[in-house]
Amino acid sequence: MSYNINKKGYYGKFGGAFIPEMLYPNVEELRQNYIKVMAEPDFQREFNLLLKDYVGRPSPLYFAKRLSDKYNTKIYLKREDLNHTGAHKINNTIGQILMAKRLGKHRIIAETGAGQHGVATATVCALMGLECIVYMGEIDIARQAPNVARMKMLGATVVPALSGSRTLKDATNEAIRDWINNPVDTHYIIGSVVGPHPYPDMVARFQSVVSEEIQWQLKEQEGTSKPDYVVACVGGGSNAAGAYYHFLEDTNVNLIAVEAAGLGVDSGESAATSVLGREGIIHGSKTLLMQTKDGQITEPYSISAGLDYPGVGPMHAHLYTSGRAEFISITDDEAMAAGLKLCKLEGIIPAIESSHALAIFEKKTFNPNDIVVLSLSGRGDKDLETYINHFKL
Ligand SMILES: *Cc1c(COP(=O)(O)O)cnc(C)c1O
């Protein structure tokens, strides 16, 4: 069995491009060109230079000694939190803005929920001098004022989505409508390994720099390029896809995906998409998503805005159903406690998304000689208020 994408754009039975006919030309143009463009030496050169000098890559692979001592195993943190803009999302937006330029697009649209992807997109648009329009639910705009301000400072136009629940899925509908109306000059930057083919594969390839670095960094420190475990939190699945990428077909490397259980998997207030989800179509691809009996998408909940997504990318749906990855659900409280523990033990304040991944060490025992690489997807600055309220700091 393969865990990578096949020629038709599927991971097992998940993926594909379920899109309105009017979107077909845009998606098809991307599908026909993305591999070719990414392989061009000139593209590679520009992408790698920006990852190095603008993003600050390679991100360190840090041996967390005190954390390792506490859990009696070898824990390495892949420090995506040290990237420019504070998370892994910038790896993808840099890749896609270069792709847009090569395809002759000069207008960029995106949708955002918590605002992290909006900020990463506005950042690269400023970098390249391209027009940037970010759709965001009216409710989210009110909840995420600092990120709205960041986007505006970076020169983006933030357009409120006023329909439906006025959150992420409504912003997505607005972005898709915009793209249909502007098929020639506009590129739609999707922020995770979701959406119609080729997006999940394209985003995974841009994020795969993470596992490429893990291989040589681990070789330097441990004399082997293969960890025993790779651990990552999963919202849509892009930081996990990047951390897993070069290990997907090597089943000696165990993959652990951590989803947000919110108040508890069975509480009705959760974002544990794979465990709770059923097959369906969201955002143009067939995958696992949380839905009612009659197929209405269920509103997800997590204390972490970045994991609060009702679906999961098709790669992860396949990793779940095939058993290639182990899926673990972590509650709000478990994640918050693990985040605070990292602060005290290592002097690193993690994003609450990443804190979910860290919480598995309380649930699962590893052998003393196991090498566990954990994707520390982002830093906690953006989450300070949530930490303050939770711990009454
Ligand atoms: C957005 C985000 C996530 C979740 O997105 P994935 O596509 O699943 O990686 C995780 N961590 C951080 C810090 C984020 O900003």
178 is a domain residue: yes
Residues in contact with 299: Cβ distance below 8 Å, sequence separation at least 6, in sequence order: 165, 167, 310
* Residue 147 scores a pLDDT above 90: yes
| Confidence bin at 104 (pLDDT 50/70/90) | very high
Residue 308's pLDDT is what? 84
Q: By C-alpha distance, which of 129, 128, 126, 105 is closest to 187?
A: 105
Identify whether 326 is a catalytic site residue: no
Instruction: Look at ligand 1, atom 14, and give the residue with the nearest C-alpha.
Output: 306
92 within ligand 1 shell (Cβ under 6 A): no
Residues 161 and 27 in one domain: yes
Residues 351 and 228 in one domain: yes
Residues 213 and 354 in one domain: yes
Instruction: Look at ligand 1, atom 1, and give the residue with the nearest C-alpha.
Output: 306
194 within ligand 1 shell (Cβ under 6 A): no
Least confident of 42-56, 198-212, 300-314: 300-314
* Residue 306 scores a pLDDT above 90: no
Give me the amino acid identity at 331: T
12 is a domain residue: no
1 is a domain residue: no
Residue 114's pLDDT is what? 87
113 within ligand 1 shell (Cβ under 6 A): no
Q: What is the mean pLDDT of residues 54-71?
A: 98
Identify whether 68 is a catalytic site residue: no
Least confident of 83-87, 186-190, 273-277: 273-277
* Atom from ligand 1 closest to the CA of residue 351: 13
Residues 384 and 354 in one domain: yes
Structural domain of 118:
18-50+89-203
Residues in contact with 106: Cβ distance below 8 Å, sequence separation at least 6, in sequence order: 130, 131, 185
Q: What is the mean pLDDT of residues 111-133?
A: 96
CA of 357 to the centre of ligand 1 (A): 11
| Confidence bin at 193 (pLDDT 50/70/90) | very high
Select from 203, 238, 258 the last residue of a domain.
203
173 is a domain residue: yes
Residues 301 and 335 in one domain: yes
302 is a domain residue: yes
| Strand, helix or coil for residue 256 | strand
Q: By C-alpha distance, which of 340, 290, 335 is closest to 317?
A: 290
Q: What is the mean pLDDT of residues 46-62?
A: 98
Residues 364 and 275 in one domain: yes
Helix (H) or strand (E) holding 51: none
Helix (H) or strand (E) holding 389: helix 384-391
- For a mutational test of ligand 1's pocket, the pick from 59, 77, 79, 89, i.e. the residue with the most ligand atoms closer than 8 A to its C-beta, is 89
CB-based contact 285:194 (threshold 8 Å) = yes
4 is a domain residue: no
Q: Between these two residues, 203 and 165, which has the higher pLDDT value?
A: 203
Residue 164's pLDDT is what? 86
* Residue 297 scores a pLDDT above 90: no
CA of 243 to the centre of ligand 1 (A): 12
Select from 203, 224, 258 the last residue of a domain.
203
242 within ligand 1 shell (Cβ under 6 A): no
Q: What is the mean pLDDT of residues 71-82?
A: 98
* Residue 167 scores a pLDDT above 90: no
Q: What is the mean pLDDT of residues 290-319?
A: 91
364-378: per-residue pLDDT in tens? Answer: 999 999 999 999 999
364 is a domain residue: yes
Residues 297 and 354 in one domain: yes
5 is a domain residue: no
What DSSP line would sit under 109-172, residue for residue? EEEESSSHHHHHHHHHHHHHT-EEEEEEEHHHHHHTHHHHHHHHHTTPEEEEE-STTSSHHHHH
Residue 299's pLDDT is what? 85
Annotated catalytic residue within 59, 74, 78, 89: 89
Q: Between these two residues, 299 and 171, which has the higher pLDDT value?
A: 171
Strands of the sheet containing 107-112, edge to edge, are 157-161, 131-137, 107-112, 186-188
**Residue corresponding to tokens 């999940």:** 200
Residues in contact with 93: Cβ distance below 8 Å, sequence separation at least 6, in sequence order: 117, 120, 121, 123, 124, 189, 191
304 within ligand 1 shell (Cβ under 6 A): no
CB-based contact 353:332 (threshold 8 Å) = no
Residues in contact with 72: Cβ distance below 8 Å, sequence separation at least 6, in sequence order: 366, 368
Select from 176, 203, 230 the last residue of a domain.
203
Residue 165's pLDDT is what? 83
Number of domains within the chain: 2
- % of the chain residues with pLDDT over 90: 91
Residues 70 and 112 in one domain: no
Annotated catalytic residue within 59, 74, 105, 111: 111
Hey, what are 369's tokens?
A: 């000689």
Task: Count the Cβ atoms, other than its own, within 10 Å of residue 49.
Answer: 10
* Residue 30 scores a pLDDT above 90: yes
Residues 197 and 299 in one domain: no
Identify whether 174 is a catalytic site residue: no
What's the CATH number where 26 sits? 3.40.50.1100
Residues 214 and 147 in one domain: no
Residues 324 and 253 in one domain: yes
Residue 309's pLDDT is what? 84
Residues 152 and 192 in one domain: yes
